[in-house]
Amino acid sequence: MSKVCDLTGKHPISGNYVSHSNRKTKRRFYPNLHTKKFFVPETGEWITLKVSSSAIRTISKLGIYQYIKKLEKKGDIVYYGTQEPGC
């Protein structure tokens, strides 16, 4: 299971554990991800996304549909929920 946010693209980064004696050992910092279902009222469907806490806060402010549209315009994601059947 990948630890990448579906909307923001946040992923694990690497760093070091630093002991009291200042020894350094490699470690990973993971994003704060949650699997969450969102209802999109404009399309009338539920979508399940693995999103970071910061993305959940932004969705609370803008709404899921507006946030997805903003990311589409920016070119970060492609959302297939708005296409007509048969396209």
Q: Which domains does the chain have, with CATH numbers?
A: 13-74 (2.30.170.40)
Instruction: Please tell me whether residue 70 adopts helix, strand or coil conformation.
Output: helix
Query: How do residues 16-43 score in pLDDT, each as one tens digit?
Result: 999 999 999 999 999 999 999 999 998 8
Cβ atoms within 10 Å of 7's Cβ, excluding its own:
21
- Check whether 77 has a pLDDT greater than 90: no
